[in-house]
Chains A and B, each alone.
Chain A
Amino acid sequence: MAKLPRKMLVSDTISQAFRAIRSQPLRATLIILAMSIGIASVTLLTALGESARNYILYEFQSLGTHLVTVLPGRTETTGGQPPIFGETPRDLTLADANALLQSRYIAAIAPVNIGSAPVSARGLERETNIIGSTSALRRVRHLTMAEGRFLPERESDKALPVCVIGQTIKKEIFAGQKALGQWLRINDRRFRVIGVLAPQGQSIGVIFNEIVIVPVASAQMLFNTESLFRILIEAKSKPAMYKAVNDIDEIIKARHEGEQDITIITQDSVVSSFDEILTALTLTVTSIAGISLAVAGVLVMNVMLVSVAQRTSEIGLLNALGASKTQLISLFLTEAAMLCFAGAIVGISLGQASVIVLQTLYPAFSLSIPVWAIFAALAVSLTTGVLFGVLPARKAANLDPVQALSKR
């Protein structure tokens, strides 16, 4: 009796639990099915959410991560979208934009003016958006040329009669024929086409394929306005961006009689708020799928309780043979955990299969199950199994052995 009580070997616990599972194949199949549906939906929805997030973040980052946008007007309390048009009587002008060049943290400044006007050539006409800007726009928005060149590098107040057009405009107005060097009529003015943009992805906000770009001074004449729509600024580096924001704030304040009447948006603040929104969305969708895991957990508990009831006499026997309560609990918990683990493996495979199917259907949208989601799924299913297995296991351990043995 001096010997310490030896514990049941782990390998034996597992193999005994496995034999018990194998002896009730229908029960095992049902639990695995329920658990795998839960796990598959969680992993699939996580994959969708994560991939959507990555897609949008990538889109934003392709615009350049140290982009700063300056808008006229300031929203303080609404917390809504920044104003599209200024709410202040004081405009943001070309002079303001040029003044910003004082800051040594700024690499490029592109003042932007925007408006809508009919454009025509050789009798074909359509209404489209006109952007007035400078040569810096190309750098700031990472535009690439298909033919010709971009706006010339001149002082921004020179209203040259030249324009750069998008692919759709070329196709629709010039009917696919040579556009370079041709005249394009915008409102009642003529502009020579000096460049055609390469087909652009649908960059957030502006569809560059359907746009005509003219020098900013020309746009001011076209739309008869001094004020700018916004100023796009590229900081020299990411750390310089915050210093640039301070500089912009001070320079404009000094020029606007000490009043802060502009809104400054940094690209990364846009990215991070989108990131937050999409993460929240992913989590929401995943939690909804998580409900199915809870349902699976309840099923596990139910089936394990039935199993305990069916094996009452066996439990009494194990008691008589010298099984302690702890051993009985660990046997039944191992069973529940193994069933759930198997369910998780099947579920992850199902999720992976669905991802592959979706990927072949929509090859443009890159979809994948994040690695953390796989580990989380395994952990969650094991936790569910153990959590919902505790009650049946305790019930088994607390059976009165005499009564349990009297059942046949």
Chain B
Amino acid sequence: MIQLNNIQRYFQVGDQTVRALDNINLTIENGEYISVMGPSGSGKSTLLNIIALLDHPSSGQYLLNNKNVTQLDDNAQAKVRRENIGFVFQFFHLIPRLSAAENIEMPMILAGINSQERRQRVNKAVADVGLSDRADHRPDQLSGGQCQRVAIARATIMQPEILLADEPTGNLDSHSGSEIIELLEKLNRDGVTLIIITHDQKIGDRANRQIRIIDGKIAA
């Protein structure tokens, strides 16, 4: 369960203070399917980054499973990112020199899991996203949709309870886009909390709960 209490995030731009997030209060139960929409620069990505522990709120409290995670040290936050949160990006962010399978393996390497277990889990994960025959391809040998599927396999390999997707279809054609959305929704049906940022109203409407952010505030 994610609880955000009075979260503020300011940026100092020159001598102006920009309020990226202004007093956000939000509770997300386990297993929810949420879409976050709003105009560019409204603070959607900042919200996602704070939930992912990649960004720190200027003030306010973030409880993850009733534990205050804003006050954890760097190592403990890294562990939370590793074990509780999966992140899918608009631009995939695959490491170009590594094969699809090796990209998927990376979070387990950082977690110190031994190579035998890693191999088993990677084999299952590539099969789950339908890329068994492409496991040894490097990202530049894969299509955009395939890359995003590798990224999703990587984000879920540590079996996190939360999956964050920042415009996951923003860089894909509509066909591969809908394939990716279906894959994400299937993971949600299996119990993962899914939070998607999108510009696409049609995708946003599919979520059980829609959040609009305008000027750093939750609108509805």
Contact = CB atoms under 8 A, between A and B. Distances in A.
Contacts of A322: 78-83, 107, 110-111, 158
A7 B74 CA distance: 14
Interface string B72-91: 00111111111100010101
B74 A324 contact: yes
B184 to A, nearest CB: 17
Contacts of A309: none
A314 interface: yes
Interface in A73-103: none
Interface in A1-32: 1, 5-9, 12, 16, 19-20, 22-23
Contacts of B78: 5, 319, 322-325, 327
A327 B110 contact: yes
Instruction: Classify the interface of chain A: helix, strand, loop or mixed.
Output: helix
A236 B113 CA distance: 71
A6 B113 contact: yes
A211 to B, nearest CB: 75
Given A6-B113, A322-B82, A317 B95 contact: yes
A326 interface: yes
B201 interface: no
A12 B54 contact: no
Contacts of A16: 109
A327 to B, nearest CB: 6
Contact of B79 (A5, A23, A318, A319): A5
A220 interface: no
B75 A326 contact: yes
A43 interface: no
A249 to B, nearest CB: 72
B110 A318 contact: yes
B68 to A, nearest CB: 13
A20 B65 CA distance: 37
Given A318-B110, A324-B74, A313 B79 contact: no
B79 A321 contact: no
B93 interface: yes
Contacts of A161: none
B55 interface: yes
Given A19-B97, A19-B98, A326-B75, A321 B110 contact: yes
Contact of B54 (A5, A8, A319, A327): A319
A158 interface: no
A191 B197 CA distance: 115
Nearest to A319: B54
Interface string B16-45: 000000000000000000000000000000
B49 interface: yes
A10 to B, nearest CB: 10
A71 to B, nearest CB: 73
A408 interface: yes
B55 to A, nearest CB: 5
B180 interface: no
Contacts of B76: 5
A370 interface: no
Contact of A8 (B52, B65, B98, B110): B110
B106 to A, nearest CB: 6
A320 B54 contact: yes
Contacts of B52: 320
A9 B83 CA distance: 17
Contacts of A405: 54, 89, 93
B14 interface: no
A20 B97 CA distance: 8
A20 B95 CA distance: 10
Given A9-B112, A12-B115, A321-B81, 12 more contacts: A8-B111, A9-B114, A12-B112, A20-B97, A320-B54, A320-B81, A320-B93, A321-B106, A321-B154, A324-B77, A324-B78, A405-B89
Interface of B: 49, 52, 54-55, 65, 67, 74-83, 87, 89, 91, 93, 95-98, 106-107, 109-115, 154, 158
17 contacts: A5-B76, A6-B112, A6-B113, A9-B114, A313-B93, A316-B93, A318-B106, A319-B78, A320-B52, A320-B54, A321-B107, A322-B81, A322-B107, A324-B74, A325-B74, A402-B55, A405-B89
